[in-house]
Chain A
C-alpha cells in the first residue's frame, strides 16, 4: 500500500479525484444544457430565413414563432403566413428548403456558407429563389471583422445590395458606385473594407455554385425545371 502511497499517483491523488469529479460535473451540465444551445442556434437561423426569402420589409416588426419545422410570421399589418423549413443533406454547412404553408409550393432555398474573411471566419446565410436563378438576400451569422469598418457587412444597406442579383455568373466587387453600376453582377464595396466585401462575395459565389449544381442535380429527377 505504501509503495502506491509514495508512487506518482499517491502524491497527486487530489488531482485525480478532482479530475474525475469535474469530468462528471461537466458532462452533466453539458447534457442538461446542450439541447438548449442547439435550440438557440437553430432558432437564430429559423428566425432569419423568412426575412431572407420574403424580403426585409415583409418581416419588419413581425412576431415569429417557431415550432419544429413550421415557422409562422404575424406581421404587424397583413395576415399571418406559415412556412415549413426542411433541412436538406448537402455539402454546404447547411441547406434549407422553404415551402409555403404545410406542404405548399417550394418558395426558395437558404444555404449557409463559411470561409476565411479578412480577420477571421465569416459565417453567413444566402437566400435563393426556388429555381436558384436569383439571390433573394444574405444575412451574416457571425464575423469578427474590424469594428466600424469591416463589420459594415452586417448592416441592412450592404445586405440589400445582394437582393435580386441573378446567379448565372459569379458576383464581382465594384470599388465605387460607377463601377458597380456597369454590370448587374457587381456589388458596391463598403468604403474602407474592400477585403471584407470581397470575401463576402466570394463566400456567396461558392455557396451559390454548390447549391446550384446540387439543386440542378435534384431538379432533374423532380418535376419541371423552369
Chain B
C-alpha cells in the first residue's frame, strides 16, 4: 500500500503540481510550435508521452547499472581488472549527459522506424513531430530528474516510470489546453504586434497561474494517504 501511495504522489506531482511545461519551462519549443490545432497537439502529446516512457526505461537501467556512483557494472570491471586495487569507487556519473542524449536520440530513431513500419497512418499524422522530439527538453529533463532521484533517494523502476509517464500526461494536458485556447484566439481581434508567439506566451502565463492552483492537491493527498 505504501508503494502505491508513493506512486500516486509522484504521479500527481508530475502531472499537475509541478507540470513540466508550466513550472519547469521544459518542452517549450513544441508547446509553442505545435499547439495551433487540437488534433496535432494531442498527437504531439501522445508522441512525447510514448517516447518519454521509452527513454525513461532506458535511462533508468543505464543510471542504475552504469552511471550511479556505486554502480555494479563499472565496479565489477574495475575490481576484476586490478584485484589488488583498494575498494576505490569508480564513478562514471560524468558520462550521464552524453549517455542520456545518446539513448534519447536512438530511442526516437527506433520509435520512428517502428511506427513507420507497423502504423503508417499514425506515422503520417506524426510526420514531422518525431524528429522534432529529439530536441525536446522535456525528455532530457525527465531523465535528469530520474537520475537525481535514483542517486539521492534510490528510486526503483516503478517510481521512475510513473514520473515519466505522468510527466508526459502533464505535458499533453498543457498542450491540449493551449491548443483549445489558441483555436479560440483565431476568432478574436489580437493587436497587430502581439499576434503569433507573443499572445501565446501571455496566454501560457495565465494558464501557468491557473496551474498554480493545483499546488494544494499534493499536500492534501499526502495528508489523506498517511494521516
Contact = CB atoms under 8 A, between A and B. Distances in A.
In-complex A–B contact (CB below 8 Å): yes
Interface of A: 19, 22-23, 26-27, 29-30, 34, 114, 116, 118-121, 146, 195
Interface residues of B, number: 13
Nearest to A93: B152
Chain A interface helix/strand/loop/mixed: helix
B178 to A, nearest CB: 22
Nearest to A146: B215
B5 to A, nearest CB: 12
Interface string B70-111: 000000000000000000000100110010001000000000
A30 B94 contact: yes
B218 A22 contact: no
Given A30-B94, A114-B153, A121-B152, 4 more contacts: A23-B98, A27-B94, A34-B94, A118-B219
Interface of B: 17-18, 91, 94-95, 98, 102, 148, 152-153, 215, 218-219
Contacts of A23: 95, 98
Contact of A118 (B148, B152, B218): B218
A114 B152 contact: yes
B94 A26 contact: yes
A26 B152 contact: no
B25 to A, nearest CB: 13
Contact of A29 (B91, B94, B152, B215): B94
Given A119-B18, A121-B153, A195 B95 contact: no
A35 to B, nearest CB: 12
B98 A26 contact: yes
B222 to A, nearest CB: 8
A195 B219 contact: yes
A27 B67 CA distance: 13
Nearest to B94: A30
A195 B221 CA distance: 12
A13 to B, nearest CB: 16
Given A119-B18, A121-B152, A26 B95 contact: yes
18 contacts: A19-B98, A19-B102, A22-B98, A26-B94, A26-B95, A26-B98, A27-B95, A29-B94, A30-B91, A114-B152, A114-B153, A118-B218, A119-B18, A121-B148, A121-B152, A121-B153, A146-B215, A195-B219
A19 B103 CA distance: 13
Nearest to A195: B219
A16 to B, nearest CB: 12
Contacts of A114: 152-153
Contacts of B152: 114, 121
A114 B152 CA distance: 9
Contacts of A30: 91, 94
A118 B217 CA distance: 11
A86 to B, nearest CB: 21
Nearest to A123: B152
A23 B74 CA distance: 14
Pick the most buried of A22, A29, A118: most chain B CB atoms within 10 A of its CB: A118
B18 to A, nearest CB: 6
Nearest to B6: A116
A14 to B, nearest CB: 14
Nearest to B148: A121
B15 to A, nearest CB: 14
Nearest to B145: A120
